[in-house]
Amino acid sequence: MKLERSDRAPLWAFMTPALVLMLVFFVIPVIYVIVVSFLKWNGINTPAFVNFKNFMLLFRDRAFKRSVINNVIWALVAGFIQVPLAMLMAIILSRKPKGWKFFRTVYFFPQVISGIALATLWRAIYRADTGLLNALLNSVGLGHLAKDWLGTIETAFPAVLIYWVFYVGYYMVIMMADITTIDESYYEAATIDGASDFQQAIYITIPLIKKTSLLTCVTLASVMGLRQFEQVYMLTNGGPANSTSTIVLYMYKKLQDANYGMASASAVILIIVGVIFIVCIRKIFEGRNEEAAAAKKARRALQ
Amino acid sequence: MTASRVHGALRGKELILAILRWILIIFFAAYTLFPLIWLFISSLKTNFEFLSGSPFALPAVPQWINYTNALSVAGLGRMLLNSLFVGLCATVFNVIVASMGAYCISRFRFNGRERIFTLFTAGILVPLNALMVPYFVIINKLGLYNTYGGMILLYCAIGIPMSTFLIRGLMDSIPMELEEAAYIDGCGFYGRFFHIILPLSRTGIVTAATFEFLTCWNEFVFANLIVSSEKLRTIQVGIRYFTNQFSTDYVSMYAAIMISIIPSIIGYVLFQEQIIAGMTSGAVKG
Amino acid sequence: MKKLLSLLLVMIMIVALAVPAYAANDEIIINFPSVWVGTDSKAPYMAQLIENFNAENAGSIKVVVEEQSDYQAARDKLRTTITTGATPDLCIMDTTYDIKGYSEAGKFMDLTPYLEEGWGKDFADGAFDAWSVDGKVYALPFESAIFTPIYNTKIFADIGWDHFPATYDEFFQFCEDAKAKGYNAMGQMAGENAWSSMLWYSLIVEAIGGKDVYANGLQDPAFVQAAEVLKAMYDYTFEGAISAGAGDVNGHWLARDTAIYLNGPWWVANLYKEDNAVDGVLLADDCEVALNPTYEGGKGEGGLVTTVQAFLAAAKQDDPAKEAAVVKFLKYLTDPQHVSELALSSGAMFFVKYEPSPDTNLISQKLTEVANNAEFTILHVNGAFPTAVSTEFPAAVSALVLGEVDAQGFVDQLQLAIDMAE
């Protein structure tokens, strides 16, 4: 909508609260972080300007490189495996099978349970001696595969990542809310034409949520993947040998060391990586913008 | 005849799909319910059982005393109320401010609009742990250290990027035609916001509110940082009452976690009907 | 109805924003964030002590405890408050290495004049030497800890050993025997903060390097040798030690499948807990205190690994009345009689000289004996180096055990962590 003159004053009145909060709680603190990323400072001594030294140290540190790689993998898995899984469940439940309300509520539970509980449970599952996963493998005759899942470099990161991928409730709820707003008549028409549920999902549901809740969820999931901290912290604390470290965990450890300079520098890098991600995701989804619009138009013509 | 055979084949395929569908539904349900059940069972053990036995064994005698412990020793009752109060206030403020901001960004083209939105989105990325020092200073300078106000303001603020992002996403999908029609009918800026956009973006607002409330409910670092008085402590601080460097009381901690989960689950189940009502009365896509 | 509700909500919010947490009054408030709360073994007596103090000084001084049961969160908050100039009136510091930095930064009250008035005589001789800056004391070493193995005599008997190994050679023979009998010789953990492994490493470093092992940072060859020994120990611990945490180590020890346990004296109370008894026999009844084995060719004989578990420091005060109040409370807290009771109730050890209560349990008495007989002491590794070493330790030790790095690489990794922090 074009901005009318009469709208100008209320527009800024509406924007102001959000902008002020953003300024005070994000812009100024982030400027502080950027400034500190060029300093050598432990919080109590006099800060010294060290130019790009903190960034150079970061890129020379294997643990940090591992963290960046882990985060990128995490963001990709979140955006392109977790969200599609969530979408699948959203489509299934939005067809209202028996007990769908119950399941929708249940799927959301992990969001409500505190992270400590989930992490403790999964530690117990992955344990070497009394772990559930090893017991399961033993019982189906795959005992030779049993191992200390979180204590082996090759398996620790996949283990941390995989258990979490199946907690899809949050994204599912967002997409379900979107799907319920789709006009029922589309599906009715499609059913008359003999389209299967699967075809209906591919040709009606997905194109209609792509630009809205799907984009929202993919962006959100990727960002959450990049910001991942709590689960790793409680499950492995980045170990073994930093193989499960993430950028925020790395940053947190530098904060514990009172190495404010390097901690801030890693925060800056996280923000940069994140912005690249957000821009790329937007590009991917907007690339098919016209395609979707065309499909929508075609369907409208059919009606 | 051919037609009926096709029909039969379709039925067979649909049956397989239906079975697959139910396998998926039940797998995910089991997967999400398992932690809750395990947590509940663990919260009924003794520390000795929990530490030295199998983590998946049942307790010999259910230790309901862990719950009494959690409630009386750690004083969880007051903390629950604090969390509820802080969470609700922060959420209400948050979605009001965020939906006003999202409305402007979503519906109007003005200079710097995309830059402002990028700023908001980038805000989601900021690792808040890095901001402990500035946040502590800001809250202190505002004179809000150790107050409900400080917590509410901080939680409201740190959720703004996320909420704006979620609400804008939904507002974008509301057809422009609707608002334009209202504009022609002489409906002003506020009228369009309150009578058209706000009701239609209820789903997005509810999603954002849920997220914001859960963030408040599960937040610990800042709850500990900007509050010192026992009277203002929130539930996450209470859960950690039983952790200690060398002698964590695991089972009481699990009982505390169970207690902290129950209200949010009940709240969610009750609230959900509202969400559905909001959704079905919303716009129709097409 | 809806409008009424929302109006009500808004009003409640405004009231909430306006009402301060508590009203000010005339008495001096001492703000004391304490980790000795919750399930900590010192919590019950500390609470009583503070209550008594407040009662005795009702109307003039009030100590307000801010409960900080999560150690890491407590550290984070303490650092943030000190950095931003909002140092709490009284604080408990456990980052040994950093204590001098804080003292030099001028954030803390100079306690020297008060100590010189005679208060200082309550503390162990030379307690302040290592921590004073230009001869001034800014942080009182309060809680001490020693680290020496405790072993399960019943398991030892079952394995066929009637004494604790005196040398590390003998120690590994014992480990072999224990393994053959299906026991874990000791608990190791490379998960969480790798606490147990850090302690074992400190013991080995002491046994090899002796008194002056920290004199040249990580340059002493003892660090590399000790890393080899630590790695070898992982063959004799329980399965999954790489990802294990403190809960796992304690769990195995409590389950009586591990022969040797290593932790600070605060853990002794758990040995006497009814909850941890099996068939009515307390774990303590099967426990014996041992000495760190010696290492062939090592310089560690007669040495003991210790640490300053907690310092007490106070914020610099402008108001002399408040300064006097803080000092009054500090003196109350470190009063030998009070410390004696604190030691009795918690099992912890202190730098304050006190008459031990006759009710002290047997294990604690033996630990005190070990402490008194030590010819020299060194700090544990976490205490002797910057925090960066304790942060990096879990990653380094898991890399070492998994063969990602060799013993030299392990030490290099720790050194790199120090370099990055400095």
- What pLDDT band is residue A196 in, cutting at 50, 70 and 90? confident
A37/chain C closest Cα distance in angstroms = 14
At A62 the pLDDT is 92
Rounded to a whole number of angstroms, the CA Rg of chain C reads: 24
Bridge partner residues of C32 (DSSP) = C65
Selected residues 120-149 of chain B with any CB under 8 Å from a CB in chain A: 120-127, 129-135, 138
- Mean per-residue pLDDT over chain A, rounded: 87
In a domain, A209, yes or no: yes
At A302 the pLDDT is 46
- Whether pLDDT at A202 is above 80: yes
Report chain C residues whose CB lies below 8 A from the CB of B74: 38
In a domain, A24, yes or no: no
Report chain B residues whose CB lies below 8 A from the CB of C275: 46-48
Where do the structural domains in chain B lie, given as residue ranges? 2-42, 67-280
Check CB contact under 8 Å for A63 and C76: no
Check CB contact under 8 Å for C391 and A237: no
Q: Which CATH number does the domain C149-290+385-421 belong to among 3.40.50.300, 3.30.310.80, 3.40.50.2300, 3.40.190.10?
A: 3.40.190.10
Interatomic CA distance for residues C278 and C393, integer angstroms = 35
- Tell me phi and psi for residue C63, to 5 degrees: -90, 120
At C21 the pLDDT is 45
At A156 the pLDDT is 95
Check CB contact under 8 Å for A180 and B280: yes
Selected residues 207-266 of chain C with any CB under 8 Å from a CB in chain B: 246-247, 250-252, 254-255, 263-264, 266
In a domain, A27, yes or no: no
Interatomic CA distance for residues C258 and C184, integer angstroms = 5
Check CB contact under 8 Å for A129 and C193: no
A154/chain B closest Cα distance in angstroms = 24
CATH superfamily of B67-280: MetI-like (1.10.3720.10)
Interatomic CA distance for residues C72 and A170, integer angstroms = 30
At A301 the pLDDT is 47
Q: How would you class B244 by CB atoms within 10 Å of its CB: exposed for 0-12, middle for 13-18, buried for 19 or more?
A: buried
B209/chain C closest Cα distance in angstroms = 16
C-beta contacts of B47-54 below 8 A and 24+ residues apart: B47/B249, B47/B250, B47/B251, B47/C275, B48/C254, B48/C275, B48/C276, B50/B250, B50/B251, B50/C251, B51/B250, B51/C247, B51/C250, B51/C251, B51/C254, B51/C255, B52/C251, B52/C252, B52/C254, B52/C255, B53/C255, B54/A130
pLDDT along chain B (286 residues), means of 10: 50 82 92 89 88 83 88 83 94 94 87 83 88 93 93 96 88 81 83 85 84 89 90 87 74 88 81 60 49
At C3 the pLDDT is 58
pTM: 0.90
Check CB contact under 8 Å for B22 and A110: no
Question: Are residues A238 and A150 in contact, defined by beta-carbon separation less than 8 angstroms?
Answer: no
At C23 the pLDDT is 46
- Tell me phi and psi for residue C377, to 5 degrees: -130, 150
Residue closest to A131 by CA, chosen among B55, B21, C341, B94: B55
- Of all residues in chain A, the percent with pLDDT exceeding 90 is 44
Strand, helix or coil for residue C278: strand
Interatomic CA distance for residues C79 and C68, integer angstroms = 14
C292–A contact, CB cutoff 8 A: no
Q: Which CATH class is domain C26-146+306-363?
A: alpha beta
Interatomic CA distance for residues C155 and A24, integer angstroms = 62
Check CB contact under 8 Å for B146 and C21: yes
B112/chain C closest Cα distance in angstroms = 33
Interatomic CA distance for residues B101 and B167, integer angstroms = 9
Selected residues 180-209 of chain C with any CB under 8 Å from a CB in chain A: 190-193
At C20 the pLDDT is 47
Where do the structural domains in chain C lie, given as residue ranges? 26-146+306-363, 149-290+385-421
Question: Are residues C253 and B246 in contact, defined by beta-carbon separation less than 8 angstroms?
Answer: no
Residues of chain C falling short of pLDDT 70: 1-25
Check CB contact under 8 Å for C239 and A242: no
- Whether pLDDT at A293 is above 70: no
- Strand C349-350 relative to strand C303-314, pairing: unpaired
Q: In 10 A of CB A37, how many CB atoms?
A: 23
B44/chain A closest Cα distance in angstroms = 14
Tokens for C399, please give them.
């890399």
- Read off the CATH number of the domain in which A144 is found: 1.10.3720.10
Check CB contact under 8 Å for A239 and C242: yes
- Tell me phi and psi for residue C143, to 5 degrees: -95, 135
Domain that holds residue A152: 35-302
Check CB contact under 8 Å for C69 and B249: no
Q: Which residue of B has its CA nearest to A215?
A: B169
